Amino acid sequence: MIGSRIKYRHLQTFVEVARQRSVVKAADSLHISQPAVTKTIRELEDVLKVELFERDGRGIRITKPGEVFLRHATASLTALRQGIDSVSQEQLESVPPVRIGALPTVSTRIMPRAMELFLAEGTRSRIKIVTGENAVLLEQLRTGDLDLVVGRLAPPEKMTGFSFEHLYSEQVLFIVRADHPLLTERGPIFASLGDYPVLMPTRGSIIRPVVEQFLIANGSGPLTTQVETVSDSFGRAFVRSSDAIWIISSGVVAGDIEDGVLAPLPIDTTETRGPVGLTLRTDATPSLPMSILMQNIRQAAAEIS
């Protein structure tokens, strides 16, 4: 049968020669030699018992039978590619998705490196990364909308039904622009905090109680102008363009400090250190892609520790 003698390479080569109107250009496009293109076209012509191309000066042009066959060859290749894509999509959808909740500090410092490692594994998993307040992420983890939360350890009353794996510890910093007046302040810094706008973590954030306790313990006066935010992009832009003080986890601004754009006030915040790690539901068994990503997160965390 004629159909069984025509191969994919015959159709692919024929369509490319017809498109390029040149054996030389078709060979370059297909990354094969010119003799290989010529041989393949001749094989196809032998099977079909017709000439598909004829010389036209220094080039070639497609014949009438070639034009008829081109319509069907093009349709066949298109149908084949669509079939391959459909199978690939079905395989992709059968791979368990990876749904991660990450606090801003983790999204900035850990997840980019972890995702780089994960994508190199080639699992082809669909990936979803959500950043937000800890309480919101834990609720999504509890309801099954997320499979893993990466961030600070929640209070004991919030950890019912969850397990936690410690990765590293992180403290809160008081961040200002590199030429802020308080960086050269000789008097007590806590007494001067109320003279400037202060960006505070929101009341639902995991570090808000830690910050409030720290301020009280160090005798800070009333903070006249407070702006509550968990947006690292807003915080970074506002602090760089004003005299505001940003109270934020160190991981969020580590790169800005290294670049010399932002600077921490000379305040010992060691007592604000808290564990950062992986929070999972105790009744959940991680899929293979999730297990791979968790290992990637561990590696990324080890690199910065």
Give 264-301 pLDDT, tens digit per residue: 999 999 999 999 999 999 988 888 888 999 999 999 99
Strands 98-102 and 148-152: parallel
The burial class, CB within 10 Å (0-12 / 13-18 / 19+), for 135 is middle
pTM for this entry: 0.62
Cα dihedral: 8, 10, 16, 21 (round 10): -170
- The confidence score (pLDDT) of residue 90 equals 53
- The confidence score (pLDDT) of residue 144 equals 87
Hey, CA dihedral for 189, 192, 194, 196, is it positive or negative?
A: negative
Q: Is the pLDDT of residue 245 over 70?
A: yes
Q: Is the pLDDT of residue 86 over 70?
A: no
- In 10 A of CB 88, how many CB atoms? 11
Cα dihedral: 174, 177, 233, 277 (round 10): -30
- Per-residue pLDDT averaged across 217-243, rounded? 90
Cα(194)–Cα(239) distance, integer angstroms: 16
